[in-house]
Amino acid sequence: MHNRMMITGAGSGLGREIALRWARDGWQLALSDVNEGGLAETLKMVREAGGDGFTMRCDVRDYSQLIAFAQACEEKLGGIDIVVNNAGVASGGFFDELSLEDWEWQIAINLMGVVKGCKAFLPLVQKSKGKIINIASMAALMQAPGMSNYNVAKAGVVALSESLLVELRQAEVGVHVVCPSFFQTNLLDSFRGPTPNVKAQIGKLLESSPITAADIADYIHQQVAKGEFMILPHEEGRMAWKVKQQNPQAIYDEMAMLAEKKRAKSRAL
């Protein structure tokens, strides 16, 4: 069998859309989240789209819950072919304002949640010679100002994915990392940060996306089929990443100007 996918954070946003994209190909979905209402809705939609599967409440901060989820995947589906580490939360605030608790919360979910997901599911993907898809962000590559804890967590997800890409090649496990720019989902519901107006600024960026979560899921589906490691769904993100690779200083200068603007806006509010 090569049609079994597990997704964390599948009760909303991108996780749900990834489930629906693969459900349209008739896949079995193992759906987990801390939001059980959202999960039940996703499973219903998956069935309507042509897939099937099961849901399980799982907090990615708790390794024992991920291990129990992996066991459930083995019992109910006989294994897993694609692991999608997608669960994540939003945060923002300038470094001088962020508390260590803000940092620990962000790293525990957005970085260690992915580390734990990879570790708990490694035996299953090794057995199936399957794939791991980690959801990072353009924040990992561009380090926008006023969100250093998010940037660091997501940069860690990219570094982990690169490490696994090379370590797991011999085992024939494929690894992909996805770096979207902002797009509209419920991500801001989870926002944590010292300055509430940063939340409003991020809200505007989410609304401004030219593409939807469903478009991004479609793009991931295409690029995974092509075997692309680093998946950048936004055209603007692909362009920015090219510039940064050729001329990082130009991006640092632009980001420093953006930081000044953001600070001025915070003071004005």
Reference 185, options 101, 97, 88; nearest CA is: 88
Of residues 127 and 162, the one with the C-beta less far from ligand NAD = 162
Among 6, 135, 230, 251, binds ligand NAD (CB under 6 A): 135
Which DSSP string do the residues of 91-114 spell out, in sequence order? B-B-TTT--HHHHHHHIIIIIHHH
Residue 187: DSSP 8-state: G
How far apart are the C-alpha atoms of 86 and 123, rounded to whole Å?
19
Query: Nearest approach, Cβ of 20 to ligand NAD (angstroms)?
Result: 13
Which of 61, 199, 221, 238 is in the footprint of ligand NAD by CB under 6 A? 61
* 6, 7, 87, 175: which one binds ligand NAD (CB under 6 A): 87
Span interacting with ligand NAD, options 28-36, 94-102, 227-235, 251-259, rule CB under 6 A? 28-36
**Hey, what are 9's tokens?**
């954070």
Gap between the Cα atoms of 74 and 58, Å rounded: 16
Q: Is 7 in the site for ligand NAD (CB under 6 A)?
A: no
What does residue 22 show for φ and ψ, rounded to 5 degrees? -75, -30
* Subset of residues 136 to 165 that bind ligand NAD, contact rule: CB under 6 A: 137
Residues 200-259 that bind ligand NAD (CB under 6 A): 206
Q: Using CB under 6 A, which of the segments 46-54, 82-90, 221-229, 242-250 binds ligand NAD?
A: 82-90
- In whole angstroms, give the CA distance from residue 65 to residue 57: 8
Q: Could you say which of 182, 192, 232, 237 contacts ligand NAD (CB under 6 A)?
A: 182
